[in-house]
Structure 1
Amino acid sequence: MTGVQGVEGKVVAITGSSSGIGEATARELAGRGAAVVLGARRTQRLDAVAERIRHDGGRAEVVAVDVTQRADLERLVATAVERFDRLDVLVSNAGIARTGLVSELDVAGWDAMIDVNVRGVLYGIAAALPVFRRQGRGHFVTTVSTSGLKITPGQAVYAGTKNAVRTLLEALRQESTDGSLRTTSISPGFVRTELVDAVENPDVREQMQQRMAEIGIAPEAVARAIAFAIEQPADVEIGDLTIRPAVQN
């Protein structure tokens, strides 16, 4: 089934799949017949997501994954191969956001975003690319952000990490134009997820939560966009998708 059109029968590993876009993507793809391997730190929530998928007739496996640990990504990929004989798609969705002016020098926050948003993606590529090369086909789908498209004060480093990944995927695409590898960057705008809950400044956090509640789209909308990219025929690559609320400026 590797490389065929559609989602049914494909094997997809997803990081950050215990909630939000990752959970919605797991449920969307499993509902379309994919086998999903779920990775996140919150294993209790992962188990609940997997149980719901299985209850609905889908196939799901769970792996405890901290994307800052390379061995965890290797275990995620290995689980997919051991359980389902291959891996067709890696959805790198885990991400964190810290806000603040560069002049505030939140070096710890910078390090955390670089570790999760950049190194976490690189570790996933390092784990999955040898499998994709061996199979002769594979697909990297990565969640970036509209924050990298419209730069605003307070999000410089966050946007920088997302644009670093966007650049990385484009370079990987150009290195892989033999048709064996596809890359897709998904740029969501305001989506109703837990992403901004970790913002440390309480005033900024409240403002972002309110804005998200007012205009945010459902994570299922992003999940459908991811499914659209995955379901294309093997000779078609959706390189970039931006999906935002129609009222977001």
Structure 2
Amino acid sequence: MAEQPLDGAVALVTGASSGIGAATARRLAREGAAVALVARRGDRLDRVARDITGSGGHSITVAADITEPERAEHAVQQTLDRLGRLDVLVNNAGIRLLGSALHTTVAEWDRMVSLNVAALLHVTHAAVPHLIYAASTSPREVADLVNVGSAAGPAAWPGSSVYSLTKSGLNAFAESIRRELAADGVRVSVVEPGAVDTELMDHLNEITQDAARRQVAGIEPLRPDDVADAIGYIVTRERRIAVNQMTVRPGDQSW
């Protein structure tokens, strides 16, 4: 078999049980990486792992609620213990709950902040020393931290206030640590998808779902594989190339 760009590398993907996370895990495995699949739903992770194995790849599963700091640290440590290193971290886990400030509950806001922000911070904090080490020991001389943001970050809309808050804040966080880690050979990127056909829509209540579906009516949404392709492109560039931010929208999405 011909050498693949990520041969010998290890990737950890959060939210890997479905959607963009599952597609990204499969894509990185095809590029030669061993992949740690992290999410709460162990049965769904097992299905993704079987897909990867069936295609000749290698993966492990770690069922964990990474909103808990110790569980996030455990997920990173399990990756190191079982796969030996960590070259690529994809912070994909997230949730999108829409609704106006008048009608949304504080619990829904807290849920988004917990998963979209706190969980990402927990995993990133645990992973950074190992990414730095990987960059210094890898033949590629580089490691990658990729964060899945949203086109709704820089372009907030009514009903998406806290979701957009979590995603716009991600951009500032990523830019800051990009500057911190650049000299250590760790590239930091944000991928901002537009409308994607994933199960995130299923988390909305019926009224909000209807409004969201009307917003994307007439648009052929991205598929999870489209976003995974963007992530795969970023992490397979040679060391001299850093793609720090990429927005990927459906071709007919104007907003």
TM-score for the superposition, normalised by structure 2:
0.90
The ranges of structure 1 where at least 4 consecutive aligned residues each deviate by more than 6 angstroms after the TM superposition are none
**Matches of residues 1-249 of structure 1 in structure 2 within 5 Å?**
6-104=5-103, 106-135=105-134, 136=136, 137-200=142-205, 202-209=206-213, 211=216, 214-249=219-254
| Distance apart, 1:100 and its partner CA | 1.2
Which of 1 and 2 has higher RCO (CA within 8 Å, sep 6+)? Answer: 1
| Distance apart, 1:213 and its partner CA | 8.6
Tell me, which stretches of 5 or more residues in structure 1 are unaligned?
none
| Distance apart, 1:209 and its partner CA | 4.2
**Alignment size in residue pairs:** 244
| Distance apart, 1:36 and its partner CA | 0.5
Q: String of CA shifts for 1:45-66, please: whole Å, max 9, x gaps.
A: 1001101111111101000121
Counterpart CA distance in 1 for 2:35 and 2:67 is 21
Counterpart CA distance in 1 for 2:73 and 2:209 is 34
Distance change >3 Å, CA 230–CA 11, structure 1 → 2: same
Distance change >3 Å, CA 173–CA 212, structure 1 → 2: farther
Counterpart CA distance in 2 for 1:73 and 1:241 is 26
Percentage identity across paired residues of the two chains? 37
> Are 1:191 and 1:212, in contact at CA under 8 Å, matched by a contact in 2?
no
SS at match of 1:192: coil
Distance change >3 Å, CA 220–CA 90, structure 1 → 2: same
Amino acid at match of 1:208: A
Counterpart CA distance in 2 for 1:126 and 1:160 is 21
TM-score for the superposition, normalised by structure 1:
0.92
Tell me, which stretches of 5 or more residues in structure 2 are unaligned?
137-141
| Distance apart, 1:203 and its partner CA | 1.9
